Structure 1
Amino acid sequence: MATIRDVAKKAGVSVATVSRVLNNKGYTHEDTRKLVNEAIKELNYKPNEVARSLFKKKSRLIGLLLPDIRNPFFPELARGVEDEMQEQGLHLIIGNADEKTEKEIDYLQTFKQNNVIGIITATNQAETSYYDNLSIPVVFLDRTTISHPSVYADGLEGGRIAAHEIIRRGSKRIALLRGPVEFQTAQDRFKGAVDELCKANVDFQVITSSFSFHDAEVMAKALFEKYPEIDGVIASNDLSAAAILHEALRIGRSIPDDLQIIGYDDIPLSKLLYPPLSTIRQPAYDMGREAARLLLKLMNKKPIVENNIQMPVSFIERQTTRKVDKNG
């Protein structure tokens, strides 16, 4: 990898001259500037963003904080953010908080030390002072908060659709997985499903579950041990649904004739499962891009029409639910 000294040697100038060209500081003759830029291009030199930020007290770095990168939903969010930011010449520093407050705070400190100019966070700590005390713009992603701008999907509608679809396909004894109580988005989808289930007057059991990869397998086994008679599951996310599908097949349940399963998120893995998973699609990639656009407006002090952007969800029918008349 080329260094600033390599560029200086190639262009026949001093390191200080290269630095002036890179940072557009001080006078440099146009011919010299051209030599330096040609050397940069030929050597494919990439400036050290951290060093530049320390020199200029400003960077082109954005902090992105995710709760658990093992969950495939979050890399989809991250890809949307990254693509939008790269088109604007900005770069990401990504932190994985592991759903731990201390790691989240530590990454916020790391972002500050690296002079990031904005933060996008899918944090567990939406309503805390950690973000209120920051002097840079913050956008929450896949989270709702009254204190900062946010981008999230319509959880109430997602929960309602999941319950509606599993009922109209014939499930009468349903397990409803309730996601983490600290996430408003999870509670929105839970409320949407509960309202629809109560309206339909069907039997259902509520099981509190996390979004974590680690807990999904344990939860699935406990579910069938405690409620062996269930004939439908509305999962809190696709990881939980995948674990339930795996356990159901292991104990000999027929999918979807004996047991129907609806996930939530539509992660790429969903259609690769066997049978492929019916699920509620959150537009993760588009949500990431929208959060990036919102942060860019805040950073550039442009007018914000919507502080909280809610994005639509939809039912993706695959093979863990039974077919019905589309007009039914």
Structure 2
Amino acid sequence: MERTKKMATIRDVASEAGVSVATVSRVLNGKGYVHEDTLKKVQQAIKKLNYSPNEVARSLFKRKSKLVGLLLPDITNPFFPELARGVEDELQKQGFRLLFGNSDENPEKEQAYIDTFLQNQVVGMISATQTSGLHKGEPHVIPTVLLDRTHGGNYTVYADGREGGRIAARELISRGSHNITLLKGPGNISPVQDRFLGAVEVLAGANVDFHVIQMASLTYEEAEQRAKELFSHYPGTDGILASNDMTAAAVLHEALRIGKSIPDEVQIIGFDDIPMSRLLFPALSTIRQPVYEMGKQAAQLLLKLIKKEQVTEQNIQLPVTFVERNTTRKVKRDG
């Protein structure tokens, strides 16, 4: 059986070229004088051994890596991989790479990832979570951008959740819903709270009845339980505003299971416009956040901080829009 080939190390390169590890380091990092003949020997050794310098190892020599830490709360929610992709694509253009952590909304797990990032010499962090000291006004040891989950930090990128809540409520009312139920996500998650407050602002001033069901988390399992509760406690509901698309999908599934006609009897509006939304049947009407763009702009902002460039806009708010699909009725337009 063929043995797995061992990856070459910087020591292997030094041995092959007949030079010190420090000399190889100077060649890799382009710092310090290296004689032309020695340079050629090292380059030939690198090529012969197919040596690929490890970013973390290089950071220890350079004291300046090209690694960025990214914290996400729940990678199983399709919203966050798209957010991460926007971050990654933008960083990669500038030669930076990501270290990634999934916190599961757990403060201890999140802090452990932050410690790991710092131990691995990251030059900046982007956080889409809301449980660590990063969101409590504590000084940051490295450049940090808060993404999606809050707009109370020094450098933030987020969508206009409150306006999104207003838009969703107006759309349900204009399409004929009079007995509306809101599924309210955890109050400690600021964008979810913003959506709720925006919706209530409109509903409280309209000639409609509305109820609120509190959710302890944004998981699909939690949403399934709350959906059953919704139709049991408020059977007359004819319009539902969900805290996100995952919740809306669970509500849609339960409504169809008990024989509700969508959208004739019950209209449903989600929030996020994750890819799954258009694949549901019927396809989900929702409030679209520019998820990829949010990630991209967070990366751009962080790169400016890392490079100590001038930042003209510290808190970047992006607009949201209503996406009409098949869980809402068509609006009758005059003319």
TM-score (norm 1): 0.92
CA distance in 1, matches of 2:66, 2:168: 41
SS of structure 1 residue aligned to 2:121: coil
Q: Summarize the Cα distance change of 1:276–1:15 in structure 2 as closer, same or farther, 3 Å threshold.
A: farther
Match of 2:57 among 14, 32, 51: 51
Distance 1:150 1:41 in 2: 43
2:148 corresponds, among 122, 133, 142, to 142
Is the Cα–Cα contact under 8 Å of residues 7 and 36 in structure 1 kept in the other structure? no
Match of 2:8 in 1: 3
Cα distance change of structure 1 residues 214 and 112 upon mapping to structure 2, 3 Å threshold: farther
On the 8 A contact 2:220/2:246 being kept in 1, the answer is yes
Letter in 1 for 2:90: E
Aligned pair in 2 of structure 1 residues 139, 12: CA closer, same or farther (>3 Å)?
A: same
Contact 1:263/1:279 (<8 A) preserved: yes
- Percentage of pairs with the same residue: 60
- 2:315 counterpart of 1:308: yes
Shift in Å, 1:107: 1.0
| Stretches of structure 2 lacking an aligned partner (at least 5 in a row) | 1-5
CA distance 1:131–1:69, change in 2 (3 Å): farther
**RMSD in angstroms over aligned alpha carbons?**
2.4
Matched residue SS, 2:236:
coil
Maintained 8 Å contact 2:172/2:239: yes
Q: 2:239 aligned to 209, 215, 232, which one?
A: 232
One-letter amino acid of the structure 2 residue matched with residue 113 of structure 1: Q
Q: Counterparts of 1:40-189 in structure 2 under 5 Å? A: 40=46, 45-125=51-131, 132-189=138-195
Secondary structure (helix, strand or coil) at the match of 2:205 reads helix
Kindly provide the CA deviation profile for residues 202-222 of structure 1, in whole angstroms up to 9, marking residues without a partner as x: 111011223223312222122
The one of 241, 250, 255 aligned to 1:248: 255
Q: CA deviation at 1:148?
A: 2.2
Q: Is the 8 A contact 2:72 2:102 kept in 1?
A: yes
Q: Is the 8 A contact 1:68 1:212 kept in 2?
A: no
The residue type equivalent to 2:193 in the other structure is Q
Matched, 1:25 2:31: yes
Shift of 1:13: 5.0
In the alignment, is the contact (CA less than 8 A) between 1:131 and 1:138 conserved in 2? no
Is the 8 Å Cα contact of residues 17 and 45 (structure 2) preserved in structure 1? Answer: no
Q: Residues 42 and 312 from structure 1, CA distance in 2 versus in 1: closer, same or farther, beyond 3 angstroms?
A: farther
Residues 26-79 of structure 1, C-alpha deviations (whole Å, 9 max, x = no match): 322345545655765687643211112223222111010001111110111100
Worse-matched range after superposition: 285-294 or 302-311: 302-311
For 2:117 and 2:334, how far apart are their aligned partners in 1?
52
Gaps of 5+ in 1: none
Contact 1:141 / 1:287 at 8 angstroms: preserved in 2?
yes
> Measured at CA, do residues 274 and 37 of structure 1 come closer, stay the same or move farther in structure 2, by a change above 3 Å?
farther
